[in-house]
Every structure is written in structure tokens, then in C-alpha cells.
Amino acid sequence: MSVPARPSRPVVALIALAALAALLVLDATRTPPVDLFTAPPAIALGSGEAPGGAHCSGG
């Protein structure tokens, strides 16, 4: 009986990167584009806006 050969590290890395790329392409094609005029600020330091929607916002 012979033991089946395992794939090498570079092969596994390429498979993982291909799966990640496929997931990103699938996500980009299935979601609508972001409207930057209605999106909340990514970093709102000192903007005066109260935090909301998180477990630490108290509301």
C-alpha cells in the first residue's frame, strides 16, 4: 500500500489565494456600489458625531 502524496506548500498557498480572489470577485459582483455621499465617515475623530450601533455606545 502506498501513501497518497500531499500537495506542497506553494500549491496549497496558490489554492488559498485563488479561493480568496474568487470570494472577493463574488462579493464585488453581488453587492451594490457604496454611495460615498451617504456613507458614514470611516474615522470620525472629533467630528461631534455620537457613536451608535455598537455594544459600547450605550444605546
What are the tens digits of pLDDT across the range 11-46? 999 999 999 999 999 999 999 888 888 877 777 666
Cα–Cα distance, 31 to 52 (Å, whole number): 24
Q: How many other CB atoms are found less than 10 A from the CB of residue 31?
A: 8
Phi, psi for residue 6 in degrees, rounded to 5: -90, 150
What pLDDT, on the 0 to 100 scale, is given for residue 11?
Answer: 93
- Calculate mean pLDDT across residues 37-58: 66
More confident residue, 22 or 47: 22
Angle CA(16)–CA(18)–CA(20) in degrees, nearest 5? 70
